[in-house]
């Protein structure tokens, strides 16, 4: 199914589709965050779509619009005759946007177990909270890290646990 048809199918079924972008390098549908799990379930379970494979969740800080965007890249892997070479697949992407000062998106880790670690990563590095996630804690940074490093307004800490952290250009305390 072409991205246009998938978008039309989703628009007929859900009011939650806010926008669709089909031109450019990456076609996607913009979904309202509160309805995202229902749309996700439909994308996975509908036999015409069958998006059973969550490839990636990429979070983007849209500082100028005061928003965060999460882009979910999906794929379908046919399990009917797996031993034969699979030559076709469908691709689609969904964008869920949330406010910067109250960044909450419902989790889809119960729809795609692969989302578990991706959502933890987005939470860790971008500071988006995934409501309903079974184990939402930092994954790449250490547990006591302050702030979310991939935010555009993130300020690099000058010290961590008593260790001075200087940047190349601002050597506040040169030691060698």
Partner 1 sequence: MTQQTLESAPDVMVDLDRNAQGDLQTEEMLVNMGPQHPSTHGVLRVVLRTDGEMVLEAIPHVGYLHRCAEKIGENLQPYQYIPYTDRMDYLAGMNNNQGFALAVEKLCGLQVPPRGQAIRVIFSELNRVASHLVSLGTYGLDMGAFTPFLYCFREREMILDLFEAACGARLTYSYLTTGGAHDDLPEGWVDRCREFLDYFETKIIDYNNLLSFNHIFVKRTARVGVISAKDAVAWALTGPVLRGSGIRWDLRKIRPYDGYETYDFDVPIAEPGGSGEIPEEVVVGDCWSRYFVRVLEMTQSVRIIRQALDRLPPGDFRAPKSVGMKLPDDEVYVEVENPRGQLGFYVRGDGSAIPARVKARGPSFCNLSILTHICRNVLLADVPAIIGSIDVVMGEVDR
Nearest to 90 by CA among 103, 114, 73, 104: 73
Handedness of CA 44, 48, 49, 52 (dihedral sign): positive
Site string for partner 1, 74-93 (x = CB under 8 A): ---x-x--xxxxxxxx---x
Q: By C-beta, is 7 or 95 nearer to partner 1?
A: 95
Give me the least distance between CB of 76 and partner 1, in Å please: 9
Q: Determine phi and psi for 4, rounding to 5 degrees.
A: -60, -45
- Taking CB under 8 A as the rule, does residue 139 contact partner 1? yes
Locate the DSSP E strands across 5-128.
17-21, 28-31, 53-62, 67-75, 91-99, 104-106
Q: By C-beta, is 44 or 106 nearer to partner 1?
A: 44
- Taking CB under 8 A as the rule, does residue 35 contact partner 1? no
Of the ranges 30-38, 98-106, 136-144, 161-169, which one interacts with partner 1 (CB under 8 A)? 136-144
Of the ranges 1-9, 21-29, 98-106, 161-169, which one interacts with partner 1 (CB under 8 A)? 21-29
Nearest to 18 by CA among 56, 55, 75, 69: 69
């Amino acid at each position: 199914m072409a991205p246009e048809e998938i978008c039309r199918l989703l628009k007929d079924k859900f009011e939650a589709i806010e926008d669709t972008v089909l031109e450019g390098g990456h076609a996607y549908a913009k979904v309202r965050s509160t309805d995202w799990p229902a749309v996700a379930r439909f994308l996975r379970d509908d036999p015409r779509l069958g998006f059973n494979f969550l490839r990636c969740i990429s979070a983007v800080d849209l500082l100028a619009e005061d928003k965060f965007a999460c882009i979910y890249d999906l794929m379908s892997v046919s399990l009917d005759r797996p031993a034969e070479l699979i030559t076709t697949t469908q691709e689609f992407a969904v964008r869920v946007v949330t406010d910067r000062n109250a960044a909450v998106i419902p989790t889809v880790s119960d729809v795609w177990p692969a989302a578990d670690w991706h959502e933890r990563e987005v939470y860790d590095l971008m500071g988006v909270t995934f409501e309903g996630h079974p184990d939402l804690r930092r994954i790449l940074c250490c547990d006591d890290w302050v702030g979310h490093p991939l935010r555009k307004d993130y300020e690099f800490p000058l010290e961590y646990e008593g260790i001075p952290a200087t940047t190349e250009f601002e050597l506040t305390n040169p030691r060698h």
